[in-house]
Amino acid sequence: MQAWPGSAYPLGATFDGNGTNFAVFSEGAERVELCLFDDDGAETRVELRDVDAFVWHVYLPNVGPGQRYGYRVHGPYDPANGQRFNPSKLLLDPYAKAVDGEITWGQSVFSYTFGDPDSFNDEDSADAMMKGVVVNPFFDWTGDRQPKTPYAETLIYEAHVKGLTKLNELIPEELRGSYSGIAHPAVIDHLLKLGVTAIELMPVHQFVNDSTLQDKGLANYWGYNTIAFLAPQNTYASTGQRGQQVQEFKGMVRALHTAGIEVILDVVYNHTAEGNHMGPTLSMRGIDNEAYYRLEQDDKRYYTDYTGTGNSLNVGNPHALQLIMDSLRYWVLDMHVDGFRFDLASTLAREFYDVDRLATFFELVQQDPVVSQVKLIAEPWDVGPGGYQVGNFPPQWTEWNGKYRDTVRDFWRGEPQALGEFASRLTGSADLYEHSGRRPVASINFVTAHDGFTLRDLVSYNEKHNDANGEDNNDGESHNRSYNHGVEGPTDDPEVLTLRARQQRNFIATLMLSQGVPMLLHGDELGRTQQGNNNGYAQDNELTWMHWDAVDQPLLEFTAALARLRRDHPTFRRSRFFNGRPVRREQGARIPDIVWLRPDGSEMQPEDWDSGFGRAIGVFLNGNGIRERDRRGEPISDKHFIILFNAGDEEVDFHLPAVEFSPKWDTVVDTAGRRADSAPLEPGESVPLAAKSLMVLCEHEVPEPEVDHSVAASLVLLADSEVPQMPPKAEASR
């Protein structure tokens, strides 16, 4: 085969219209072979003779898109010193932009003989390995425009490509479970109904289906087992054509952008699918083990594990860092994605041992002209010592706020806690983010996520029910801060069902009305259940997929209406923290931008915050106290609102504050559905606030002819037309 020297940059397989340049990094290799595979599986080897700065490269004219390939890397096999070269193992290019096939598990993909981890196994793995694919980089992006939605206006929807689309009968069957399924109008219309501005996709980087799960008849559903950081998962393509997943992914992004919806990827740069010292040799382990992985310095046969998966990527090595940064830039520049959510992001901050918020990775992101301009969301923890780092990431980052989740769950289930904690989470968690110069939007607020109970299960189960995972119910979080309201799981008791439905509305309303960026878990708006399984990582089946034929329609409409309320009123999505200072008004008393209220209508006092038994509280939000300007430089103002919370088990009479706050109030949300009338409330009036309920009052404007009450009316009426959740079978029959 004709072979030219080629170039050391860019890494990976790059087609230029005439031929393909191949480049792979390996500092410890003694010899590298590029392996090309034809349709029958026959292998042709091309030795890479040119090396620059440890990058081995070659250019092959007339090799183009669709070509399958891999590498064989020769060098010492000395695990005790961190070297695991084994040319009998076909290796996937870490920079592969598409992957063909899956792994066939067996002895051949391991570099040792089963039962003897110190041995050397030279069985060829080519037939059992997935292969890289040369892709066509050209795509018609004409008209594509990234929405660039400000954080303050963002509503995130966490979703799984397959789980969201697999059972939606409005999508053609051949497109369900694929990128094209996400791009279908049935999905996009649903997202727009909910007011979603960004869909956060669970891992779509090519991942490996674990052998241990396959042996149990299960599968890696979530995808947190990455093997190729530049390749979209091949099983999410609607066609089996090689490399088509790249074009299909781009088509999905273009369709979502046309609808004004951003695409955020959940990325896993903290570890790979090769696992610990007992794991297979699939890619980086055989290319340059010491460069790509953190090894225990006193015995380099073992891997440092901050992730709970067996290994951790070596972000202290410049070539591993380059891989991460090249991957991020590729997804932004070539695939047009709008941001990233970094799984176990604390691992990326561990240059040596401790978590360092000034680590090299964050410095690279800060100065990168591409990556620094997209949404960067950290899951701010890992499983290593000191890994819980909520509030400690650099200023340009936002964070999944685990403290928000825990506090809101505890409040609504009636746990003893200081009301001050709840107030802080509701107003953007200034205690976590203000010290670093960040704003309320640094807090990605969520009550549920893929990891844990769905919203419906959160109010239906006290205990996890993970027996289907095959681990004797030992997997998954045991402390869920959930409450079943008297019955574990499904029930026909109308009183229990009514209370569960109300609690779901309470969580949705709290999420939408909190300062920060709300994130909704896919299916929570439909009443999706996983039957108490809080760790569905291995359940690629109807247990975790969304059932579009069993929809809690009142909850769906309520969620959509709350999203509209948030969108229409900047009071609930401020870009700056409250400061408690009085706001000048054209007439009347000067009132602070926020006032916390006791049930008697008076202002909260210092001793009230730490009572430990408080369950009811109100908050006045001053629409004149936003202190921000719109994109045209005009001051932003809004109506005044009062939110009343009662997490107790008894009704509370809440007295409205004095006339200085507002002459009258309209009820726009009542999760108990007891105020369906439109009569305005008077200052000082006593309002019966039902147990486990939330109310939102908006200042009453006179005259009213031009005021559109459609959102307010729909909220009250939906809550009033409370339809108890039925057991799954009854829902399906309905």
Supply the pLDDT for residue 587. Answer: 54
pLDDT of residue 715: 58
Q: Which pLDDT belongs to residue 215?
A: 93
Per the model's pLDDT, the better-predicted residue between 17 and 634 turns out to be 17
- pLDDT over 90 for what percent of the chain? 81
Local confidence band at 724 (pLDDT 50, 70, 90 cut-offs): very low
Q: What is the per-residue pLDDT for 582?
A: 85
Is the pLDDT confidence value at 259 over 90? yes
Confidence of residue 717 (pLDDT cuts 50, 70, 90): very low
Instruction: Order the strands of the 55-61 sheet from edge to edge.
Output: 12-15, 19-25, 55-61, 50-52
410-464 pLDDT, tens digit each: 999 998 877 889 999 999 999 999 998 999 999 999 999 999 999 999 999 999 9
CA distances from 108 to 86, 93, 282, 435 (A): 11, 18, 10, 53
Q: What CA–CA distances, in Å, run from 510 to 430, 651, 668?
A: 17, 19, 14
CA distance 418 to 71: 59
List, by residue number, the catalytic residues: 343, 379
Return the closest-CA partner of residue 234 out of 99, 427, 426, 83. 99
Q: Which residue has the higher pLDDT, 467 or 360?
A: 467
Which one-letter DSSP state was computed for residue 660?
T
Residue 612's pLDDT is what?
65
Mean pLDDT of 581-587: 69
Nearest to 459 by CA among 542, 367, 552: 552
Q: What is the pLDDT of residues 200-220, one digit of tens each?
A: 999 999 999 999 999 999 999
Which tens digit of pLDDT belongs to each residue from 320-359?
Answer: 999 999 999 999 999 999 999 999 988 888 765 666 665 8
Q: Report the alpha-carbon distance of residue 365 to residue 375 in Å, rounded.
A: 12
Q: What is the pTM of this model?
A: 0.94
Residue type for position 605? Q
CB-neighbour burial class of residue 212 (10 A; exposed 0-12, middle 13-18, buried 19+):
exposed
Q: 244 — phi, psi (to 5°)? A: -65, -25
**Residue 279, SS3 per DSSP:** coil
pLDDT attached to residue 677: 63
Lowest mean pLDDT among 93-97, 232-236, 383-387: 383-387
Strand 398-400 and strand 443-445: the pairing is: parallel
Handedness of CA 517, 521, 527, 532 (dihedral sign): negative
On the question of pLDDT at 669 being above 90, the answer is: yes
Tokens, residue 725: 């959740």
Name the phi and psi angles at 481, rounded to 5: 55, 40
Please say whether the dihedral angle defined by the alpha carbons of residues 633, 263, 375 and 193, taken in this order, is positive or negative. positive
Cα–Cα distance, 517 to 311 (Å, whole number): 32
DSSP string, 518-563: EEEETTGGGT---TT-S-GGG--STTTS--TTS--HHHHHHHHHHH
Backbone angles phi, psi at 652, to 5 degrees: -125, 135
Residue 593 pLDDT > 60, yes or no?
A: yes
What end-to-end distance do the CA atoms of the chain give, in Å? 65
Closest CA to 376 of 354, 390, 356, 397: 397
Q: What contacts 527, CB < 8 A, 6 or more positions away? A: 455, 456, 504, 550, 551, 552, 555, 725, 731
Mean confidence (pLDDT) of the chain: 92
Between 305 and 731, whose confidence is greater?
A: 305
- For the segment 586-612, the average pLDDT, to the nearest whole number, is 84
What's the one-letter identity of residue 409? R
Average pLDDT over residues 714-721: 52
689, β-bridge pairs: 652
Q: By three-state DSSP, how is residue 644 classified?
A: strand
- pLDDT score for 222: 98
What is the DSSP secondary structure assignment for residue 349, as one 8-state letter?
Answer: G
| Segment 528-537, tens digit of pLDDT | 999 999 999 9
**What is the spatial distance between Cα 350 and Cα 348, in angstroms, rounded to a whole number?**
6
Q: Which residues pair with 159 in a beta bridge?
A: 201
Task: Give the three-state DSSP class for 318.
Answer: helix
Q: How far is Cα 155 from Cα 563, in angstroms, rounded to an integer?
A: 8
Query: Mean of the pLDDT values across residues 18-42?
Result: 97
User: Are 626 and 556 a contacting pair, CB within 8 Å?
Assistant: no
Q: Would the pLDDT of 732 be above 60?
A: no
DSSP string, 163-207: HHHTT-TTS-GGGTTSHHHHTSHHHHHHHHHTT--EEEES--EEE
